[in-house]
Amino acid sequence: MKRLIFATAAAASLFLNGAAFAADNYAIDPTHAWVGFKTNHAGWAKAHGAFKAVSGTISFDKQDVTKSSVEIVLEAASIDTNDEKRNTHMKSPDFLNAEEFPQITFKSTAIEKTGDKTAKVTGDLTLLGTAKPVVLDVTWNAESPLPWDANTIKTGFSATGSFNGVDFGISKMADFGLGPDIALDIDVEAVKK
């Protein structure tokens, strides 16, 4: 009988302690989020750009990273290519069609741990109404309280990846000597909820 009580108590303890290791939830800090991209420009150089309006959420299970998830939202109209005329063209139906498709999203579908602080994150990238899988190589950089506010915990990630713009319906890329591959460079800081 004592063994049964002990086993029951141990099982309950494991269950309760396991709950303590559940994923932590974070909100991406839009003032500390950088989503950049670059693509070939007629062989002369890489054309660069970034999205200025970034938001999203992260569920991060440090005990089992495969149980984590991420969702990132980019406002298409926030594109910045260092030239206002080009920005306007990028927002047009020739490229992002920002009026009809105001948001670009990435939602993880699978995570594979590749190292102590690295993983491959597969997710659905939705661009111009088309969703296709894209793989990001992600590094968890650090987590700590803010130096000026110990009650606010921040975590940070860096990621890279690429996709073919034509596959998502950006059919005018070749007309302007662009692409077709678009490389992503992502850095985000997120605040623990």
Q: Residue 66 belongs to a domain with what CATH number?
A: 2.40.128.110
Number of separate domains in the chain: 1
Assigned domain for 128 exists: yes
Rounded to whole angstroms, the Cα distance separating 119 from 65 reads: 8
Assigned domain for 4 exists: no
pTM, 2 dp: 0.87
Q: What pLDDT digit, counting tens, does each position of 19-44 carry? A: 456 899 999 999 999 999 999 999 99
Q: Return the pLDDT at 21.
A: 62
Whether the CB-CB separation of 74 and 54 falls below 8 Å is answered with yes
Rounded to whole angstroms, the Cα distance separating 183 from 169 reads: 16
Q: What pLDDT digit, counting tens, does each position of 60-111 carry? A: 999 999 999 999 999 999 999 999 999 999 999 999 999 999 999 999 999 9
Helices (H) and strands (E) in the chain, counts: 2, 10
The residue range of the domain holding 46 is: 22-192
